[in-house]
Chain A
Amino acid sequence: GQSLEQPSEVTAVEGAIVQINCTYQTSGFYGLSWYQQHDGGAPTFLSYNGLDGLEETGRFSSFLSRSDSYGYLLLQELQMKDSASYFCAVRGDDKIIFGKGTRLHILP
């Protein structure tokens, strides 16, 4: 079967760095994406990794290791507005699969 695993919740302090991990098991692999969703809002695209390595977009970075079927989202200089749910999503042979999301709590 196909599955994605990510922690259900993570807590960090404002100004700190946090890493959200995602491991996947899919039939075929065409890339790992990350989305952010605030309460009551729509998921918004953050980043994409099609190849191994690190992709950086401002305070956010995303990493992929295809050999380990693993990726992570790194958020730096955390701000209160970063409090949200973060979803990893993988494109396999059949379709796009989303993880169950990681709820990020930020403490002042």
Chain B
Amino acid sequence: EAGVTQFPSHSVIEKGQTVTLRCDPISGHDNLYWYRRVMGKEIKFLLHFVKESKQDESGMPNNRFLAERTGGTYSTLKVQPAELEDSGVYFCASSQGTSGTHYEQYFGPGTRLTVT
């Protein structure tokens, strides 16, 4: 069974540019999550999809971040325009179930975003 995949693995962009991160969850997983980890700090929740619907986007830092999950399959996270403080590792995770089996999440390898 293929795991969660993310693309790209690394991205270096200039302040003000746009970047789109992609996540492909494990097939059949309804729940998809985005997280960010800034160096040395906690893994911070960004948002949670159940199928194609945003269940919780309370962790999204501001309106420069836009997440979509068309058709309930893969998801994209767009940052536009990027700021220096957006640098970090963006993780995607998925889990089975629709009634809250959130505890066993499978993480992707992450996308390391560097904004210069």
Contact = CB atoms under 8 A, between A and B. Distances in A.
Interface of A: 4, 30-31, 33, 35, 41-45, 48, 50, 87, 89, 91, 94-101
Interface of B: 4, 33, 35, 41-45, 48, 56, 58-59, 91, 93, 100, 102-110
Contact of B58 (A48, A95, A100): A95
Given A95-B56, A97-B45, A99-B42, A48 B103 contact: yes
Contacts of B110: 42
Contact of A43 (B41, B59, B91): B91
Nearest to B92: A42
Nearest to A8: B40
A41 B107 CA distance: 10
A48 B59 contact: no
A33 B103 contact: yes
A36 B102 CA distance: 16
B91 A42 contact: yes
Given A94-B58, A101-B43, 4 more contacts: A30-B102, A31-B102, A43-B91, A45-B103
A33 B59 CA distance: 19
B44 A98 contact: yes
A105 B102 CA distance: 29
Nearest to A49: B103
